[in-house]
Amino acid sequence: MKKRFLLLGGLLFLGITSASIAKAICPVCIVAVSGGLGLSRFLGVDDIISSIWIGALLASSSIWTLTWLKLKNWDFKYSKFVVPIAFYLLTLVPLYYAEIIGHPLNKIFGIDRIIFGTALGTVVFLVGVRFHNFLKEKNQGRQFFSYQKVVVPFLTLLAVSLLIFFLLR
């Protein structure tokens, strides 16, 4: 159990420290991630795949909230750490107390499937955002196509979700 929390803590730290580099995330991105999460749960998809979308939603919500706080001049000293940690705790702790997280038969590599998927989704989403930023830099600060900021992270998440789906079959 201690190893799981250390792994989760390490992955969340990676996500939190990368969030400031990712720049702003728009509300459309959050809607796209929420739609992916809702669809995967509706279809009865494995918890890892659903949790990939949970992690992406939490990461995008954290980045969006941090940007909003900064625009309102409500930024505080440790906001880059407090806001994401609050989002993750407010999501994962109720799942733990509802016994959705922590079921002994719902593990992969000794880690709860939801925690594993959430951490993976956070990292994959941030990689997608960084890839969008990289593409934008290569195009003199302009997007290659409309809604690239949403499409690139979404497709990154979709590709990893499909890969995990086929690996778990």
Residue 126 resides in a domain: yes
Residue 19 resides in a domain: no
Exposure letters 71-95 (e unless 16+ CB within 10 A, then b): eeeeeeeeebeebbbebbeebbeeb
- Show pLDDT as tens, one digit a residue, over the chain (169 residues): 566 555 555 655 555 555 444 444 555 555 665 566 567 667 877 889 989 988 998 999 999 899 999 999 998 899 999 999 999 998 888 888 877 788 888 889 999 998 999 999 999 999 999 999 999 999 999 999 998 989 999 999 999 999 998 998 8
Q: How many domains in the chain?
A: 1
pTM exceeding 0.85: no
Residue 141 belongs to domain spanning: 30-168
Q: Are strands 111-112 and 107-108 parallel, antiparallel or unpaired?
A: antiparallel
Q: Is-contact 81 16, C-beta < 8 A?
A: yes
Residue 21 resides in a domain: no
Residue 4 resides in a domain: no
Helices (H) then strands (E): counts for the chain? 6, 2
Question: What are all long-range contacts of 104-107, with beta carbons under 8 Å and residues at least 24 apart?
Answer: 106/47
Residue 106 resides in a domain: yes
pLDDT for the residue 7: 55
